[in-house]
Chains A and B, each alone.
Chain A
Amino acid sequence: MTGILGDYWQAYLWRDGPYFSGLAVTLWLLILAVLIGFLLAVPLSLARTSRNPLLRLPVWGYTYVFRGTPLYIQLLFFYTGVYSLQVIRSQDFLNAFFRDGFNCTVLAFGLNTCAYMTEIFAGAIRAVPHGEVEAARAFGMNRFTLYRRIVLPSALRQALPLFSNEVILMLHSTSVAFTATVPDLLKIARDVNSATYASFTAFGIAGVLYAGSAFFLIWLFRRGELRWLAYLKPRTH
């Protein structure tokens, strides 16, 4: 146990030889996926709640497919499926993009988490009290101002608990990244396992690091909820 920790702690945490590895890569994947997912999910959730079926239905189809299939298949789709197409390989940019396992992983993770976030935000937008919307209209706000100042601030706050759940689930989902040759935490654990045959220790260390990251994120989100959802707290005298 101490021997493995002494030999491999750097690989587990952030660096394996000249390359980044382990927890650092896992967290970097998580940050990129959540960032892409969030930036796409906000406009998509507006389309999802739109009254125009031309906007609503394509987004519904997208979230349905991405929430109805396993992330592992989505990753295989981008990593082995798309790259096997002649159309992709004949174009320099696409060829270079899809040849790299890291790009495919970020793309698959971002699109996957975006689908879940879109549904979370759409649910929160539908739950905005109609009185607030009517009041904003009565004030003469146009659509853009209405969304920017009333609907989105309220909906994104209300979505925070479910959003944090999704981020934790995404942290756990990043563990399939090693199948696309990304040197994340689980890849290091597997390397250590095959080098030392100490399976329980090798995977146990990875498990503890994942759990630690999850608890840290939970703590962070709880602080965020205290700050941004403070106005919903029960009043006490």
Chain B
Amino acid sequence: MLLEGFGPQILLGTLVTLKLALWSLSIAILAGLLGASSKLSSNRLLRALATGYTTLIRSMPDLVIMLLLFFSLQMLLNRMTDWLGVSQLDIDPFLAGVVTLAFIYGAYFTETFRSAFQAVPAGQLEAARAYGMSRWNTFRKVLFPQMLRHALPGIGNNWQVLIKSTALVSIIGLTDVVKATQDAGKGSLQFFYFTLVGGLIYLAITTVSNGVLMWLERRYSVGVRTAAL
């Protein structure tokens, strides 16, 4: 057989990787929107907090933040369960992966959204207000769609980096596609072949995302004139 009976395991691992990536992406985008709003707000404390967050996170490797959060959170939890007198709770690696990846990539999305919000001309917002739109409608109908066009290339880049970062979560014990293919390699003693399989699965994911991103970029650039050279 093609995958020597390890097919179901690898498929399961691939699904875990995809689920991890999509969950982290959604939470990171929310965190990024929050972070960008804080960075652009007039409140000095919020601005300082957001700047500290993005600077700190972006200056350290993902893996260090991942291990730091994973082990520290577990220690904290142990101390709490000890204090409460209940038995030890182990943090689920999937949950830990989502939380840490979302926390890390929230910082990158903050920067993406900040520059995208700033790229929308102020006149657009003034015009929306002049039409009597409420703040929420201004955001939903004027600011957000235009911001998204500027943010899409950045979102695409971040997504491509994020999906590759998910490979690291196997180091903190998640049975994702990397772990599944490595286990298959161990079981069949064909490390070369199964590492290639793992790589090809990632290549397929990035190729599909490339296509989707190109389609989205075209969709959100409707009505934008470009000068032909």
Contacts and interface: CB of A to CB of B under 8 A. Distances in A.
Interface of A: 64-65, 68-74, 76-77, 80-85, 171-176, 179, 186, 189-190, 193, 197, 199-200, 203-204, 206-207, 210-211, 214-215
Nearest to A71: B164
Contacts of B203: 64-65, 68-69
Given A84-B192, A85-B192, A175-B61, A69 B67 contact: no
B185 A80 contact: yes
Contact of B202 (A73, A211, A215): A73
Interface string B153-196: 00000000000111110110000001000100100011110011
B65 interface: yes
Interface of B: 56, 59-65, 67-68, 71-72, 74-75, 164-168, 170-171, 178, 182, 185, 189-192, 195-196, 198-199, 202-203, 206-207
Contacts of A84: 185, 189-192
Contact of A203 (B64, B74, B168, B196): B64
Given A70-B166, A200-B68, 8 more contacts: A69-B203, A80-B195, A84-B190, A175-B62, A186-B63, A186-B64, A203-B67, A210-B61
Contacts, number: 111
A211 B56 contact: yes
A86 to B, nearest CB: 10
A186 B67 contact: yes
B115 to A, nearest CB: 15
Contacts of A215: 59
Contact of A81 (B67, B75, B165, B192): B192
